[in-house]
Structure 1
Amino acid sequence: MKTKHGHTSPRDTGSLDAGRRKILTVSLQASALSVLAWAGFMPAAHAQTGRKIKIGYVTPLTGPLAGFGEVDRFVLDQLKEAFAKGVTVGGTQHAVEIMVKDSQSNPNRASEVAAELILRDEIDLMVVGSTPENSNPVSDQCELNEIPCISSTTPWQPWFFTRGGDPKTGFDWTYHYFWGLEDVIATFTNMWKSIPTNKVVGVLFANDADGNAWGDPEHGLTPALKKMGYTVVDPGRYQSGQSNFSSLIAEYKKAGVEIIAGVPTPPDFQNFWTQSSQQGFKPKIVTVGKALAFPSSAEALGPIAEGVTQECWWSPNRPYKSSLTGQTAQQLADDYERVTGKQWTQPLGYAHSLFEVALDVLRRSQDIDDKASIRDAIPTTKLDTVIGHVAWGDGPVKNVAKTALVGGQWIKGTRHPFDLVVVNNDTAPDIPVQAEMIAIPR
């Protein structure tokens, strides 16, 4: 199938199952998982009315990564008023429609629905996040079909190198903002300095995009830790969804591991850490990415969640405001808890910021009917958002903008079973520390 840009699509969307191809465009008043499209428009008195602008959004509403998509209904509901005003481009007022697709936490599904949004729904701009398994296939579809794409909530190395990115040239249509493995390494080791250990680290990496990037022999965690004087115990990649971690635990125990570091999914970490407790493996420090990004994941572990540390990429105590609502980070988190009855969660800030950046890019586009014009507005972004300043130009590669990262720890909560608090801010001093780090309770 030829696209309107002259490329051949990797998937013939005409062959997709009819039920999966159906455009789901119900209102926000429908059930949570049905919130898949909405549009709002308030014509300005001084501007003529133009065509509707379509933004595609691929997110894991279901499956093992659903914690990332848990905030989407709230974010879209909250931003409805901001987007109801439409966007003015070159004196013409345009309505804005956001078309959301559930990737089901499956990379193939993410690629498939991204192709639908691009080839059939003819979106103008794509936004995406929620780990490499979700963001990478969507970004690849956009790059292939020449659709501007803004992505986040994926460390930049798995997003860039796993997709075959060349630092000398970068990508043409896909742009990303988040932190990188260098920031994770700095954040992890800065936290570890506060607890005396034997500096023996057991790494826990799945055979997936995140695990392979974090475990990369050149750019990953292991070579950096070795240079810093740590002994690294790597039992090899486990299969995502693995139920039995006994062999890995035995190897860690035999090597005297006192620190665990990795990037497992929430279900995988729950299996691993529960079995570790049952088998008497009690390291002093456990620091994992992705696994405990959500309060629900910590609650699912029960008491053994206390003391687990992680990179903290967004929290209510950040001194930033939304460019769309004017809310501080704390006000956004408070509003989320009031409306949903749930505890704030890290993806909230970044999901909100994706639409801050998207609207800013659209406003600065010279020609909304020219995809290259929208694309060219992305790297000139200089925007203060609820997650901090987003600006391309000073990143490690041309397509990447870096954002702040600090160290966080799960402790017993007051209003909630567990609270994620900032325990180290060496990499971002403007974000306040909230507590001293403690070792894993024994």
Structure 2
Amino acid sequence: MTPWVSLAWQAYLHARDAAPGHRFRWTYHFAWGLDDIAAVFADLWERVGGRSTVGCLWNDDLQGTLLRHERYGFAPVTSPRGHILADLGAYREPASDFAAQVARLREHGADLVTSAATATDLALFHRQARAAGVRPRLITCSRWLTYPHTHTTPAPDVHGERGDARVATLVYWSPDHPYRSGLDGTTCAELARDYERDTGAAWLQPLGLAHALLETAHHALAAAADPTDRTSVARALAGTRLDTVAGILDWTRGPTPNVALLPLVGGQWQPGAHGPRLVLVGNGAHPGVPVTGELMTAHRPPTA
């Protein structure tokens, strides 16, 4: 039995040739949906520009296909809110040139961009856009952008481009989240503090998910009628609703069998005294998660 984490549930299904409603026998997943990412990003777009045309920098792989999907992608969430998604054209990773995408961004007059690019590809796009005189006010990007600049590539030029672009991203866990482990009472702040003390390394978002995974395993084995029988353990997981350091994980509600949702809020990488820091800038769907800073754009001072 394999719990999966850190992958949008739509991708978790489609990577296994399954559709929503399919029930797997042994695997259980906790994460978020592409629709949840779209809602977080739309909140941020609206804070800097109301209803907007947004340039979409999406690849030609499964990820880009799902983001474009008429049912599971961004459009079903963002279009009813008045946003126009302008597809800048699919590209192959790793990218070598974004001239065509920059030209389409200019044609559509979009000054907001959303993407799921790697750090290196996003830096290349931003560099070429800037050289062409195109300056997005805000870039929202998931995937690798949930990590600090220095963890995704050692290239300093990539760090500089990302910092200059004021990239906003999704946040699924931080020391500022208000959750507590149902196993031992550990808070998010305590988990991050203890990790940094014991390892000498900075906390990363997956830390909270790793702890929640252990909490889930402990609960499933304790709740199973026979913890040595995988069918019994799987049955216990299917009926699990659990308070964890990553939030409430509820496999009884869906959005599809075998999946529990994690809450998402908006964050942004901003300059800090010890390098880039992840600031929580939007909590529209989860007001219990505190905002710790103001959203900044590339052209304007911080917005309220």
Corresponding residue for residue 37 of structure 1? none
Corresponding residue for residue 179 of structure 1? 32
Given the alignment of the two structures, is residue 391 of structure 1 paired with residue 250 of structure 2, yes or no? yes
* Cα distance in structure 1, aligned partners of 2:20 and 2:167: 35
* Cα distance in structure 1, aligned partners of 2:220 and 2:142: 30
Q: CA deviation at 1:198?
A: 6.7
Corresponding residue for residue 197 of structure 2? 338
* Cα distance in structure 1, aligned partners of 2:49 and 2:276: 24
Corresponding residue for residue 402 of structure 1? 261
CA RMSD of aligned residues (A): 2.1
Correspondent of 1:438 among 277, 289, 296: 296
SS of 1:292's partner is helix
Q: Is the 8 A contact 2:241 2:252 kept in 1?
A: no
Where structure 1 has 5 or more consecutive residues not aligned to the other structure, the ranges are 1-147
Q: CA deviation at 1:336?
A: 2.5
Q: CA deviation at 1:405?
A: 0.7
Given the alignment of the two structures, is residue 305 of structure 1 paired with residue 163 of structure 2, yes or no? yes
Correspondent of 2:211 among 326, 329, 352: 352
Q: Which has the larger radius of gyration?
A: 1
Greater displacement, 166-175 / 151-160: 166-175
Given the alignment of the two structures, is residue 239 of structure 1 paired with residue 92 of structure 2, yes or no? yes
Residue 160 to residue 334, structure 1, CA distance change in 2 (3 Å): same
Deviations 1:344-374 (A, max 9, x none): 2211111221122112212222223422112
Instruction: Map residues 157-172 of structure 1 onto 2, 5 A cutoff.
Output: 157-172=10-25
Where structure 2 has 5 or more consecutive residues not aligned to the other structure, the ranges are none
SS of 1:383's partner is strand
* Cα distance in structure 2, aligned partners of 1:292 and 1:168: 30
- The letter for the 1-side match of 2:258 is N
TM-score normalized by the length of structure 1? 0.62
Residue 316 to residue 164, structure 1, CA distance change in 2 (3 Å): same
Q: CA deviation at 1:184?
A: 1.2
Residue 223 to residue 383, structure 1, CA distance change in 2 (3 Å): closer
Given the alignment of the two structures, is residue 250 of structure 1 paired with residue 103 of structure 2, yes or no? yes
The structure whose RCO (Cα within 8 Å, separation 6+) is larger is 2
Given the alignment of the two structures, is residue 363 of structure 1 paired with residue 239 of structure 2, yes or no? no
Residue 233 to residue 262, structure 1, CA distance change in 2 (3 Å): same
- The letter for the 2-side match of 1:190 is D
Residue 179 to residue 198, structure 1, CA distance change in 2 (3 Å): closer
Q: CA deviation at 1:303?
A: 5.8
* Cα distance in structure 2, aligned partners of 1:377 and 1:197: 45
- The letter for the 1-side match of 2:250 is A
Corresponding residue for residue 289 of structure 1? 142
* Cα distance in structure 2, aligned partners of 1:430 and 1:248: 38
* Cα distance in structure 1, aligned partners of 2:113 and 2:294: 19
Correspondent of 2:232 among 360, 365, 373: 373
- The letter for the 2-side match of 1:164 is D
Greater displacement, 403-412 / 166-175: 166-175
* Cα distance in structure 1, aligned partners of 2:132 and 2:182: 49
- The letter for the 2-side match of 1:407 is G
Correspondent of 2:64 among 201, 206, 211: 211
Q: CA deviation at 1:283?
A: 0.8
SS of 2:55's partner is strand
* Cα distance in structure 2, aligned partners of 1:185 and 1:198: 14
Q: Is the 8 A contact 2:241 2:250 kept in 1?
A: yes
Q: CA deviation at 1:197?
A: 6.0
* Cα distance in structure 1, aligned partners of 2:161 and 2:275: 9
Q: Is the 8 A contact 2:254 2:261 kept in 1?
A: yes
- The letter for the 1-side match of 2:247 is G
Q: Is the 8 A contact 1:406 1:428 kept in 2?
A: yes
- The letter for the 1-side match of 2:261 is K
SS of 2:270's partner is strand
Instruction: Map residues 22-421 of structure 1 onto 2, 5 A cutoff.
Output: 148-196=1-49, 199-295=52-148, 296=150, 297=152, 300-302=158-160, 304-306=162-164, 307-414=166-273, 416-421=274-279
**Percentage of identical aligned residues:** 35
- The letter for the 2-side match of 1:207 is D
Q: CA deviation at 1:324?
A: 4.4
* Cα distance in structure 1, aligned partners of 2:116 and 2:11: 12
Residue 399 to residue 346, structure 1, CA distance change in 2 (3 Å): same
Number of corresponding residues: 294
SS of 1:316's partner is coil
Residue 341 to residue 244, structure 1, CA distance change in 2 (3 Å): farther
